[in-house]
Chain A
Amino acid sequence: MKRIILSSKETLTAIRVGLFLAIRQVKRSSKWTTLLITFIMTLTFLNLVVVSGILVGLIEGATVAVRERHLGDIAISRLKEKEYIERSTKIIAAIAASPDVESYTERYLQGATVEANYKTRRRETDLVESTGTVLAGIDLLLEDKATGLSKRIVEGSYLEQGDYDKVLLGCNLLIKYLGFESTSMPALKDVAIGSKVRIKFNNITREMTVKGIIKTKVDDIDRRVYMTDSQLRSMSGRTDYNVGEIAIKIKSTANADEVKRSLVSQGLDQFATIQTFEEGEPKFLKDIKQTFAMLGSMISAIGLVVACITIFIVIFINAITRRKFIGILKGIGIDSVAIEFAYVCQSLLYALVGTLIGFVIVFAVLKPFLDAHPINFPFSDGILVATIPGTFTRAGLLFLATLIAGYIPARMVVKQNTLDAILGR
């Protein structure tokens, strides 16, 4: 019993002396060395957090786009066997009445073809440019409020109340934006703002003017043609108010599952499929997300190993160049534990400072910057996914790696024969 108490007191003393030595060694070592090591630690931390964060963010950016610009937090779609969402008005009334709903948008949908250059082609035998599309008739204000569609206009302008025979084209209907021609995904060539296009469905043909081009990076949306709901209704001769899809944006304080439950509890699921975004999220997107997260973890693991080796080398060189003084300290009676602790402390200190700087860079610079200016990937606006707990876990791993990578070389040098170390033999 007495021995245990004594030895724990000795350990405490050893730690105190180790700290004493570590602080002075760091303080009085060359500023450039310290700077360099700290820099390496910062880079390692960023490598751990940012590389995988951007990988995941790439997909997350795509998911966020689908959520914000198309499906919403809760997506309501027609039942499989129906053409429209039945009792749409009843459903919309329930949505509008819900205190948890921030905004929503309803879209009439209609499969159609869109044609261009039918006037300009030289010969009758020249093929008319034509491609399949989905017409979406929207309430301009509701749509803009819920999905910010007007901000997605890359050419021309958004529709206005009373705009008749005017449409917005999804950019992927145009070769210029799609970037390639293919027979499986035909696109229009010479269409610009002000061009005339022909919309055809159910034996109805109508010539309309392109008012704007939208680019949302959500493929479904970017293949659509948007017009006002009133025009689509009158074109198709619809008298009911049954829409094709409804997207709901809930308040930030609300819970999507609860909002869905309340809609279901009103029996609305008899008329439509009601899904939260997570439920409706396509499986392939989930799979890709997982794959990317795994890739990110692998890259992180490699980064961690590199960090380990770097720290190992730094501490090893540091300790081996001080071999004589380590010997002397042991010679005058300083416990090995204290000396080893001094080196572990040093490496942890570098890791701490590097991590702190890394944290600041990630959360005060990179994340806000990338949230405001997402990386422009073709299929998504890449953001940086770095959660505080996730980042702390990575920082913790880095510390663990540092601990081991700092301890082993220190131990290797401290273990050497005292007299040999002192005499340098």
Chain B
Amino acid sequence: MQFLGAKYNPMIKIQDLIKSYTTAGNTFVVLKKLSFEIEAGQFVAITGRSGSGKSTLLYQLSLLDHPDSGFIEVDGVDISKLDRRERTKFRLNRLGYVFQDYALVPELTSIENVVVPLLMQGLDKKTAYKKALAALERVNLADKINNLPSQLSGGQQQRVSIARAIGHDPHILFADEPTANLDKETSENVLEIFLELNKKGQTIIMVTHEPEYAALAHRTILLDSGVITSDKRNVGHKPQD
């Protein structure tokens, strides 16, 4: 497909990805030679049993971890060529990450949590705060911008976390079980936000346990013991080419 030229544009491309952990002398291979591509603008759900390697895969794709071997290209960049500093900068400028447990900095207010990466990008204070506010508005949290995380509910914290992940318009948004700690209504709320973002072209890769949420994505990758056992396009979603 690569030979077809300009039109097809993979946002993520992995080839023979292997990741293992060694504990107490025993090597345990978590990801076993995975290969796939993800198009720009796709909303991909990764599912699978607990321990199947979903989080591990996400860490490799989002440059939080190093694979043992294999090729990873993200947003057109062979990431094995990046040094530590460049990886951090890459995450800052091109990726957004929503953690399962929100992972907000406790002594920063909602808007400050969102504004930090924007300031780090070198934006001036005014522009950075404007963008942060816009991101918080997108997750319907404009009225809580000055609350500390401890003054927010779980769902609200997760929305701040999403706002922080999208504030700088990342090319890819990663989310590892963003709804695991939320009730049904709040979870659906988060999914709506994702769908909304995706409609505007946001590439999203989300790990989830919930089949009904996975079904909302364009594509569901099913992992089992580090192997992709199913990779299907969901009905009701047209691939974006």
Contacts and interface: CB of A to CB of B under 8 A. Distances in A.
B215 to A, nearest CB: 29
A332 B119 contact: no
Contacts of A10: 122
B85 A28 contact: no
A332 B122 contact: no
Most buried by B among A14, A25, A333, A334: A333
Nearest to A337: B85
B107 A333 contact: no
B234 to A, nearest CB: 29
Interface in A84-118: none
B120 interface: yes
A334 B119 CA distance: 9
A275 interface: no
B120 A419 contact: no
A422 B99 contact: yes
A27 B109 CA distance: 12
Interface string A1-41: 00000000110011011001100110111000000000000
Interface in B164-178: 164-165
Given A325-B106, A419-B59, A13 B119 contact: yes
A25 B107 contact: yes
Given A17-B120, A419-B64, A335 B85 contact: yes
Contact of B119 (A9, A20, A418): A20
Contacts of A27: 107
A324 B95 CA distance: 19
A418 B64 contact: yes
B41 interface: no
Interface stretch (B86-94, B206-214, B216-224): B86-94
Most buried by B among A17, A332, A418: A332
Contacts of A20: 112, 116, 119
B194 interface: no
B164 A16 contact: no
Contact of A332 (B59, B65, B106, B164): B164
Contacts of A13: 119-122
A329 B122 CA distance: 16
Nearest to B106: A325
A231 B1 CA distance: 124
A422 B64 contact: yes
B122 A21 contact: no
Contact of A325 (B88, B95, B105, B121): B105
B139 to A, nearest CB: 16
A176 to B, nearest CB: 66
Interface in B96-148: 97, 99, 103, 105-108, 112, 116-117, 119-122, 148
B120 A24 contact: no
Nearest to B112: A24
Given A13-B122, A422-B64, A334 B117 contact: yes
B88 A330 contact: yes
Interface residues of A, number: 28
B148 to A, nearest CB: 7
A16 B119 contact: yes
A358 B59 CA distance: 49
Given A28-B107, A328-B105, A422-B103, A335 B116 contact: no
Contacts of A16: 119
Contact of B91 (A14, A25, A331, A338): A331
A336 B88 contact: yes
A328 B93 contact: no
A28 B148 contact: yes
B218 to A, nearest CB: 26
Contacts of B105: 21, 325, 328-329
A215 to B, nearest CB: 60
Contact of B97 (A9, A332, A335, A336): A332
Nearest to B93: A333
A330 B90 CA distance: 11
B64 A332 contact: no
Contacts of B91: 331-333
A328 B88 contact: no
Contacts of B121: 13
Contacts of B85: 335
7 contacts: A24-B107, A331-B91, A331-B99, A332-B92, A333-B93, A335-B120, A422-B64
Interface of A: 9-10, 13-14, 16-17, 20-21, 24-25, 27-29, 324-325, 328-336, 338, 418-419, 422
Given A14-B120, A328-B99, A331-B99, 17 more contacts: A13-B120, A13-B122, A17-B116, A17-B119, A20-B116, A24-B108, A28-B106, A324-B103, A331-B103, A332-B97, A333-B93, A334-B92, A335-B85, A335-B88, A335-B89, A418-B64, A422-B103
The 8 A-B pairs at the shortest CB distance, nearest first, are namely A333-B92, A28-B107, A333-B91, A328-B103, A13-B122, A419-B64, A325-B105, A17-B120
